[in-house]
Structure 1
Amino acid sequence: MTAEAQALVQAHLAKVVQDDSLSDEQRLAYRERIKALLRERDAVLVAHYYTDPEIQSLAEETGGCVSDSLEMARFGKEHPASTLIVAGVKFMGETAKILSPEKRVFMPTLEATCSLDIGCPEQEFSDFCDQHPDRTVVVYANTSAAVKARADWVVTSSIAVELIEHLDRNGEKILWAPDKHLGSYVRDKAGADVLCWDGACIVHEEFKAQGLLDLKKAYPDAAVLVHPESPASVVEIADVVGSTSQLIKAACDMENDTFIVATDKGIFYKMQQLAPEKTFLEAPTAGSGATCRSCAHCPWMAMNGLQNMLDVLESENGMGQEIFVDPTLAEKAMVPLNRMLDFGKSLKG
């Protein structure tokens, strides 16, 4: 990640505020009130695997969705509710609004962002694309609506390798943004010509190969599950490399009873729910590194809480936490997003 991008990320991290002061009684009262308001407002809660387990369980209990960003996009588009509450980070709310322009989309806080999004500013990215006009532009879902609008394709980690293989078979050269680790991974897997933007996730970049090897010595029978946003040295150690949904499936399907997991620890909720008899261990991170507030958990995902969700639902205007996307921009971004959704469906078919 460039020095400028790192400075922007650190500035955002400095503003992150999380409130863990609610008592058990308050939490229960908040949950019941949120459930009632979701019904009253014809709203559905869509939550990412990396949010707090309490948010994930609330989404499940109210008929919402807990999933990766691709399935969140599908679910929000197809659900009949007139209002979407998106618990995740801002690009997820923007994507939901682009795909469902007729719906109102709110987030517990619009301050919840993503280091990949911050580290890929619209104008700089557009200039980068202009410098390589012969390349097909593929951007990861973890980007702003403006960056998506500049792309030919949007992609999530669950279908990234398959898409790049598809484009490579068509003889296309790729410009990939923003995650350089995921870009390098798909380039190596597909054997394609992929030029990567210099971006990284502050959570996944902190996983360290040596620490992982040391933990593996203590648990020699453990399987190592790694998200491809991690550095190549960590990916090389993995027994399974995949998206959040793919790692959850591996945890359920594999015979191992212990797993070392190199992704955001929010995923442990779903893994433990689906495989309660198994043990899940956090992969080691940089620990005392410069961005240690993010160790194994995204600080922005952690900003989604019961208090701010209730505030949004109780307010007439959603406390100003409503997602708006310029219609012209949304129309442009819709093209690569629909390509992603259609390509995902074709893989299932």
Structure 2
Amino acid sequence: MMTTTSSAVRKTFDIDFPALALPSSGARMGLSCDVKQAWAKVPEPLGQQDRDACRQLIVDLLEQQQAALVAHYYVDAELQDLALQTGGCVGDSLEMARFGSDHPATTLVVAGVRFMGETAKILSPEKRVFMPDLDANCSLDLGCPPDAFAAFCDANPERTVVVYANTSAQVKARADWVVTSSIALEIVTYLHQRGEKLLWGPDRHLGQYIQQQTGADMLLWQGSCLVHNEFKAEELADLKKANPQARVLVHPESPAAVVALADVVGSTSKLIQAVTELPATSFIVATDQGIVHEMQKQAPNKTFIAAPTAGESATCKSCAFCPWMAMNGLAGVANCLQTHSGEIMLDTALGSRALKPIKRMLDFAAAYKKNIRASGDLSRDVHLFSQIGPA
């Protein structure tokens, strides 16, 4: 039996932890941003013999249990390859969600972070959903407690609530819309054109970027991603000067000064697409470096350079690798298939409430792909989304 170790080392990290600030007399409730500590496990490395045994065990168990392995681009390269080898999926969170709900498998193993496993269960409540480690979390999720976020929403009842997918099922259930970075800009454009004022959570950098691009009236929760928040503009500018032929790829969860230096700003999938479509032969990559495995597969003759995550004389927290994504490993996948540990359990009523804003996003994405991309003109086709209905 391959099992994960209970003696794994824990590493702590400082994360942004927004909190409601008490209003002064006559003022509206606002936000303050504290710093709290979160932890992630550091898995023990496996030797080659154990890795080979785990891989074979996973292949056998996936087949025996009619299960599919669904992995994110940020997890270990070995897991990404294994997911594809066994007929599973490697993708961003929206691609993972679509795959899991459409696949005939009766069991899903989600190699990612907790909100991805919950989303898979929300979309496929009839399926069993397991994760290699249920403690694999996300700084955005941890920094957006459901009760505090609900109070923030209650204090601003006139606003349409739009939440990023990197949130708990409870936060999704409180939202009118759920978005991923691959469709957020289009959805906010649509809502802005309808004249809606928005309450956005939890990533402030992504929210600021979308606000700048759309002109939408957005009230922002002040969370941030541990990985993307670390990229440094000054050092990135120096790296650009040292590599003038390289194009800069930036995820919009990064600070505005970093985004301003980008040649391409976009979701994980968009950044991967860019390395195949742009003629450049080298790229500076400002997102989780787990993505480079797929980039190298898509463009094997190109060079990828990690964007800097620490300034002069400073140390990085994550060094551009999500510590919670790193908690996924071969031993954990084998163990959850073998022992049925790490199962995502979700209250049925909660799942039903959380499904509504996710389904609204998926319906919008389908309508956008069908009716908008051919014309390239969102402004003339807002009426095409009327079938989705108001939030």
> TM-score when scaled to structure 2?
0.85
Contact 1:37–1:313 (8 Å) recurs in 2: yes
- Write the mapping of 1:117-132 to structure 2, written as runs, cut at 5 A: 117-132=141-156
Partner of 1:134: 158
Deviations 1:121-154 (A, max 9, x none): 0000000001111100000000000000000000
2:345 is aligned, of 317, 324, 329, to 324
2:170 is aligned, of 146, 158, 161, to 146
Report percent identity of matched pairs.
60
1:269 is aligned, of 293, 312, 324, to 293
Structure 1, unmatched stretches of 5+, are none
More strand as a share of residues? 2
Partner of 1:158: 182
Return 292-301 or 250-259, whichever deviates more.
292-301
Q: Determine whether 1:189 maps to 2:213.
A: yes
2:305 is aligned, of 258, 275, 281, to 281
Partner of 1:116: 140
Contact 2:272–2:295 (8 Å) recurs in 1: yes
Report the 3-state secondary structure (helix = DSSP H, G, I; strand = E; otherwise coil) of the residue aligned with 2:285: strand
Contact 1:98–1:330 (8 Å) recurs in 2: yes
**Could you tell me which amino acid in structure 1 is paired with residue 156 of structure 2?**
H
Deviation at 1:220, TM superposition (A): 0.4
Instruction: Please give the alpha-carbon distance, in whole angstroms, between the structure 1 residues aligned to 2:232 and 2:61.
Output: 43
Q: Determine whether 1:348 maps to 2:369.
A: yes
Deviation at 1:32, TM superposition (A): 1.1
Partner of 2:30: none
Deviation at 1:12, TM superposition (A): 2.2
Instruction: Please give the alpha-carbon distance, in whole angstroms, between the structure 1 residues aligned to 2:220 and 2:117.
Output: 25
Partner of 1:336: 357
Deviation at 1:6, TM superposition (A): 5.9
Partner of 1:295: 319
**Could you tell me which amino acid in structure 2 is paired with residue 334 of structure 1?**
L
Deviation at 1:293, TM superposition (A): 3.7
Deviations 1:12-69 (A, max 9, x none): 24xx22222x112221221111101100011000000100101100001000000000
- Write the mapping of 1:172-251 to structure 2, written as runs, cut at 5 A: 172-251=196-275
Q: Determine whether 1:19 maps to 2:40.
A: no
Contact 1:293–1:299 (8 Å) recurs in 2: no
Contact 1:272–1:278 (8 Å) recurs in 2: yes
Return 27-36 or 57-66, whichever deviates more.
27-36
Instruction: Please give the alpha-carbon distance, in whole angstroms, between the structure 1 residues aligned to 2:284 and 2:210.
Output: 22
Instruction: Please give the alpha-carbon distance, in whole angstroms, between the structure 2 residues aligned to 1:97 and 1:213.
Output: 42
**Could you tell me which amino acid in structure 2 is paired with residue 324 of structure 1?**
M
| Pair 264,253 (structure 1): closer, same or farther in 2 beyond 3 Å | same
Partner of 1:51: 75
Report the 3-state secondary structure (helix = DSSP H, G, I; strand = E; otherwise coil) of the residue aligned with 2:262: coil
How large is the RMSD of aligned CA atoms in angstroms?
1.3
Instruction: Please give the alpha-carbon distance, in whole angstroms, between the structure 2 residues aligned to 1:340 and 1:325.
Output: 21
Contact 2:42–2:326 (8 Å) recurs in 1: no
**Could you tell me which amino acid in structure 1 is paired with residue 55 of structure 2?**
R
Instruction: Please give the alpha-carbon distance, in whole angstroms, between the structure 1 residues aligned to 2:366 and 2:231.
Output: 32
Contact 2:18–2:221 (8 Å) recurs in 1: no
Report the 3-state secondary structure (helix = DSSP H, G, I; strand = E; otherwise coil) of the residue aligned with 2:39: helix
Structure 2, unmatched stretches of 5+, are 1-15, 20-32, 371-391
Partner of 1:74: 98
Contact 1:138–1:155 (8 Å) recurs in 2: yes
Give the length in aligned residue pairs.
341
Contact 1:6–1:119 (8 Å) recurs in 2: no
Contact 2:17–2:144 (8 Å) recurs in 1: no
Report the 3-state secondary structure (helix = DSSP H, G, I; strand = E; otherwise coil) of the residue aligned with 1:162: helix
**Could you tell me which amino acid in structure 1 is paired with residue 174 of structure 2?**
R
> TM-score when scaled to structure 1?
0.95
Partner of 1:34: 58
Report the 3-state secondary structure (helix = DSSP H, G, I; strand = E; otherwise coil) of the residue aligned with 1:11: strand
Report the 3-state secondary structure (helix = DSSP H, G, I; strand = E; otherwise coil) of the residue aligned with 1:294: coil
Instruction: Please give the alpha-carbon distance, in whole angstroms, between the structure 2 residues aligned to 1:115 and 1:47.
Output: 19
Deviation at 1:2, TM superposition (A): 3.7
Partner of 1:107: 131
Deviations 1:281-334 (A, max 9, x none): 1000026757x341200000000001111111111xx12x00011111111101
Deviations 1:186-234 (A, max 9, x none): 0111111011001000000000001111111111000000000000000
More helix as a share of residues? 1
Deviation at 1:159, TM superposition (A): 0.6
